[in-house]
Structure 1
Amino acid sequence: MASKLISVLAIAIAVLPFFTHPSLADVPPSSPVSPGTLCKDTPDPSYCKSVLPHQSTNVYDSARLCVRKSLSQSRKFLKLVDKYLSRRSTLSISAIRALEDCRFLANLNIEFLLNSFQTVNANSKTLPTLQADNVQTLLSAILTNQQTCLDGLHDTSSTWSVRNGLSVPLSNDTKLNSVSLAFFTKGWVPKKKEGNTRQPKSKQFAFRHGRMLLKMSARNRAIYESVSGRKLLQTENNDIEVSDIVTVSQDGQANFTTINDAIAAAPNNTNGSNGYFMIYVTAGNYEEYVSIAKNKRYLMMVGDGINQTVITGNRSVVDGWTTFNSATFGKSLKPSASLS
């Protein structure tokens, strides 16, 4: 995702016009350069130049402009999707499902862009690695969401005119967000040192002998050991803290009989200061479609093991479902849940 960029000082370009047109690799992000230089190493230079002002500008201002435009375009796209959905009586079930996916993903993208803009608008410097990674993940997720929307329209709506009305604006939105991501990578993402690919400790789960190290109260420990049949290992400073635990079992002997009911009971918008909310799902085949909403943060789900706890379903594109909605397990936002 990182942009490859070169540079020659702007003054040198003016004095020596016979120099090769520079790319952006070595240009300081705060230095004003021509749109041609800014856009040369973006995924679509021609499109990039069409959205930037004609005068010289820098990476930071260009990124802010592109993120603002992306936000505006995403809102317009959402209104367009709603317009088509208002005529759902004339659409097939598969078309409606594809549009509903696009609406859900467009709303997510708007939230991701708002969060990203808050960061780029407040800073004109390289960010700490974790903060830069978070924004880079959001901007990358937007591109994935747009492609998922487009795939759903193509897979389920091959004969209806709505697809054509959405494909072009969606394609342009994808180009614009690609430019935003390229500029953000150049201006805010720290250059990674060669060979340094280790993740921060805060993003790693602690394991010993193939088992996750968990830290919890005596009450929660008793519940966990009773339902899992496993003793917790001795705790250490880097163990994963568990704030509460609920259990799921199909025999009615647990807190819940379905995974979705357990998720609904989890607290909303927690900050993780007290640890994860654990849902322990005992062995069985759970025929349900599990979706973890973005407000269900710091949620951990643990099962009895491979081929023991199974989540299954039978949705398929052949039956009019989109690929996006055929998944039996999904979550809306990166920090919301941990799966084990």
Structure 2
Amino acid sequence: MWLAPAFLLLLLLHMAAAAATPSPSVSTIAACKHSLYPKLCRAILAPLRLPSNPYEYGRFSVKQALKRARRTSKLLDHYLAGGGGWARRAGGGALEDCRQLNDLNLDYLEAVAAELGPGESVLTLAGVNRVRALMSALVTNQQTCFDGLEDSGIFPELCGAFSHETQFYGVSLELVSAALDRTVGNRFEPDSLPGQNDASSPAFGLPAMGRNLMHLENGEVVRTNQSVTVARDGTGNFSAIADAIAFAPNDTSTDDGYFAIHIGAGVYEENVVVGKKKTNLILIGAGKNRTVVTGNRSVADGWSTFGTATFAVYGQRFIATDITFENTAGPEKHQAVAVRNNADLSSFYRCSFLGYQDTLYVHSLRQFYRDCDVYGTVDFIFGNAASVFQNCTLYARKPLPNQTNAITAQGRTCPHEATGISIHNCTIRAAPDLEAALNSTKTFLGRPWKEYSRTVYMQSFIDHLIDPLGWMEWNETFALSTLYYGEFENSGPGANTGGRVWWPGYHLMNASDALNFTVYNFTMGDAWLSCTAIPYSGGLL
């Protein structure tokens, strides 16, 4: 990214001034005044006794959250050990989901504590974004755990405790956000950086066609340190994808390059998990509908929604290209996930996601999807990541009788979470089965799964399948004033905004609003996508 000398000077002066001037002390009452849970906020900070500054309050809350996560780990181990196999199976595996998510929370909190350091300092822009992403994922993970336990109905005594823990982590996110406001600024606020509102400034002057640093032919996408092959007929190094992933080295760094797994054509009936230690991993298929990873787990068959995924990924900087992922459970089995993505800085390029309800679970952290196809019915793109879809085609399918389609169900629970779904330069169409049933089925752009749900459609083609209202309620008036739904420069018969909802949280965005949801500004994608050879548009078209 090129920055003008004047901009660099302003940024350096801003950082130097912030570093040279300690934050003024404020009381805990003042620090917690605008919290969603002010009483809990004051209780978290009470051990400090003396007034401190926002940075120290943020750091202290992370230390307290880390203690809480460690206690939760022991509690979950106790339940899983004490109940034997029953506890592990109960509620579709919700308790095991909680343990996995809490393990991630421990990692995230330790990383945030290290990033914030032993004393007040000015973080880099990358550091600010990383901390925001990790703290947002912390809240998301705990909310997922709580939702799973509540849905199972098996452990009511844990639900109360974990509901309180979700609030606890939300307060920590608030306090850390206040601490970060002292650094290089909040990337979601229009005035946070010089020139951020100006689409012609160097920060947003990226070419409209995106960047294609290398071609994705012949499998050579990025620099790799090693590669293996997977083939159903036994001619590769492995015949199962999971075996190749298990073979991949742990904790590969960006300096080492990517570990590449080339997957031949064929149908792979596997439920695959890319663990958190499998970093810098790239899966290269033979093409959409030629390399197919398939499974059929569903909530109707006793799994938690989290556990239904045919393909789940945690490892940072994961890439998949030219692969179809599907869940064949069908609409009658309700929630059935094809891909669940928990991986930071992850990308899917020229992939296809096939399912019905809950096809693609964009669970957490920062994600990018380019030239992909997503098929589904109810809430078929859902979750609480900071996710951007570019040049993708979203196909609504025919649901069960009396069901209504919602393309998105975004799960943001706190206004400080740096999350949302950004659909940019995409195409929204009816799949052939729905095209024949448009008179009996309504389809909407999205609905608010959680209170601060955030989704935008920008510069996309929206076909006639979308209801004139555009958006649908989750439950009567729930979240209608706290959500953020936006549309900007869309086209097509379904893009007419004249009959749209009149909710307080619905916005007809201008260019300044829309810039906040671009690859560059929403996920800081220019810093990591430029290393992947995946084409992208950093700004608006």
Question: Counterpart amino acid of 1:87?
Answer: G
TM-score, with structure 1 as normaliser: 0.75
Pairing 1:81–2:76 present: yes
Aligned pairs for 1:10-29 (under 5 A) are none
Is contact 2:65–2:168 with CA below 8 Å preserved after alignment?
yes
Aligned length: 281
Alpha-carbon distance change, 316 to 207 in structure 1, aligned in 2, over 3 angstroms: same
Alpha-carbon distance change, 113 to 248 in structure 1, aligned in 2, over 3 angstroms: same
For 2:142 and 2:69, the matched residues in 1 are separated by 10
Is contact 1:298–1:337 with CA below 8 Å preserved after alignment?
yes
From 38, 59, 77, the counterpart of 1:45: 38
TM superposition shift of 1:73: 1.0
TM superposition shift of 1:121: 3.1
Pairing 1:207–2:207 present: no
Pairing 1:185–2:177 present: yes
Partner of 1:337: 318
Pairing 1:137–2:133 present: yes
TM superposition shift of 1:123: 4.4
Partner of 1:195: 197
Is contact 2:92–2:302 with CA below 8 Å preserved after alignment?
no
TM superposition shift of 1:196: 7.4
For 1:288 and 1:86, the matched residues in 2 are separated by 28
Is contact 1:126–1:187 with CA below 8 Å preserved after alignment?
no
Aligned pairs for 1:301-340 (under 5 A) are 301-333=283-315, 335-340=316-321
TM superposition shift of 1:263: 0.7
Question: Counterpart amino acid of 2:80?
Answer: L
TM superposition shift of 1:186: 2.4
TM superposition shift of 1:276: 0.8
Partner of 1:34: 27
TM superposition shift of 1:261: 0.9
Is contact 1:269–1:295 with CA below 8 Å preserved after alignment?
yes
Which string of whole-angstrom CA distances, capped at 9 and with x for unpartnered residues, describes residues 206-227 of structure 1?
Answer: 526xxx536xxxxxxxxx83xx
Partner of 2:332: none
For 2:33 and 2:57, the matched residues in 1 are separated by 13
Which string of whole-angstrom CA distances, capped at 9 and with x for unpartnered residues, describes residues 220-277 of structure 1?
Answer: xxxx83xx6xxx6xxxxxx732222211111112221111111111112121213111
For 2:36 and 2:223, the matched residues in 1 are separated by 42
Partner of 1:7: none
Alpha-carbon distance change, 329 to 73 in structure 1, aligned in 2, over 3 angstroms: same
Is contact 1:94–1:320 with CA below 8 Å preserved after alignment?
no
For 1:281 and 1:62, the matched residues in 2 are separated by 49
Give ranges in structure 1 of 5+ residues lacking alignment: 1-27, 215-223, 233-238
Pairing 1:62–2:54 present: no
Is contact 1:245–1:280 with CA below 8 Å preserved after alignment?
yes
Partner of 2:249: 267
Alpha-carbon distance change, 280 to 331 in structure 1, aligned in 2, over 3 angstroms: same
Percent of matched pairs sharing the same residue: 36
* Bigger radius of gyration: 1
TM superposition shift of 1:91: 4.4
Higher helix residue share: 1
Pairing 1:117–2:113 present: yes
TM superposition shift of 1:96: 7.0
For 2:101 and 2:259, the matched residues in 1 are separated by 26
Partner of 2:494: none
Which string of whole-angstrom CA distances, capped at 9 and with x for unpartnered residues, describes residues 182-224 of structure 1?
Answer: 222222352242237969x9xxx9526xxx536xxxxxxxxx8
Secondary structure at the aligned position of 1:52 is classed as helix
Is contact 1:35–1:49 with CA below 8 Å preserved after alignment?
yes
For 2:62 and 2:198, the matched residues in 1 are separated by 30
Pairing 1:175–2:167 present: yes
Pairing 1:166–2:158 present: yes
Give the structure, 1 or 2, with the largest relative contact order (CA under 8 Å, sep 6 or more).
Answer: 1
Q: What is the RMSD computed on CA atoms of the aligned residues?
A: 2.6
TM superposition shift of 1:95: 3.2
TM-score, with structure 2 as normaliser: 0.48
With 168-177 and 283-292 compared, the bigger mean Cα shift is at: 168-177
Which string of whole-angstrom CA distances, capped at 9 and with x for unpartnered residues, describes residues 118-151 of structure 1?
Answer: 2223341331111221222111111111111112
Alpha-carbon distance change, 180 to 91 in structure 1, aligned in 2, over 3 angstroms: closer
Is contact 1:29–1:186 with CA below 8 Å preserved after alignment?
no
Is contact 2:87–2:95 with CA below 8 Å preserved after alignment?
no
